[in-house]
Amino acid sequence: MAGRVLRLRLHEGADAPSASDVAIEQAVIAGWTGRDADAVEKHIKELEALGVKRPATTPIFYRVAAARLTTDSAIEVLGEQSSGEVEFVLLQWGGALWVGMGSDHTDREVEAYGVSVSKQMCEKPIAPDFWRFDDVAAHWDRLILQSHAVIGGSRVLYQEGTVAAMRRPEDLLARYAPGGLPDGTLMFCGTLSVHGGVRPAVRFEFALEDPVRERKIEHGYDVVTLPILG
């Protein structure tokens, strides 16, 4: 089966992380996953302002090619109408559930006429570090997501909030895969509202903080724009 093998660092308890070559065979993008109906509606309207049609259901689960996943420090995109958004991600691997973070980088121009198509247009950056879900489950809602974007030469706060804004992992997994995620499956789990509106950037940086265990996962990537010639 086609997919992507990524070198990831898996953190379990207080032990040093183990580096593993993880074969990801399926990638899923869960959209409109907010617990707060008003916040979901706000994000839908953000995208409607860009011409994106309202989703058929909320939440909704899109499939994306696993080959689009990357831990690289830069991605190449076509044109200047794409942007990132921070999300927590779930990974089923080795018989265990892991949590990390990624950016659902999306071509916004293509998104206006086909969300499923737009999901295939850009690489999906993820941080190489993952925590065992069991280690954070008891204080899940206290985890903090944050992103910054470099726009017009300035680094600005783009998104910030706790994962409590989105449905819990157990909820999403029960809706998508009642029997459990197959090993080698990675799921993006929804995003936060954007400060100042959705817009492109030349660099996108994101973090997932655990204030209880006092640790943080951080990652970032440059956005290299390729010209549209016709």
Provide mean pLDDT across the span 108-130: 92
Provide mean pLDDT across the span 205-215: 98
pTM for this prediction: 0.93
SS3 at position 126? strand
pLDDT value at position 86?
98
CATH topology of domain 21-226: Fumarylacetoacetate hydrolase; domain 2 (3.90.850)
Question: How far are the Cα atoms of 29, 66, 102, 129, 181 from residue 126, in angstroms, in the given order?
Answer: 13, 12, 4, 9, 19
Tokens of 94: 């080795």
Determine the Cα–Cα distance for residues 21 and 198; give it in Å rounded to an integer: 34
Quote the DSSP letter at residue 192.
-
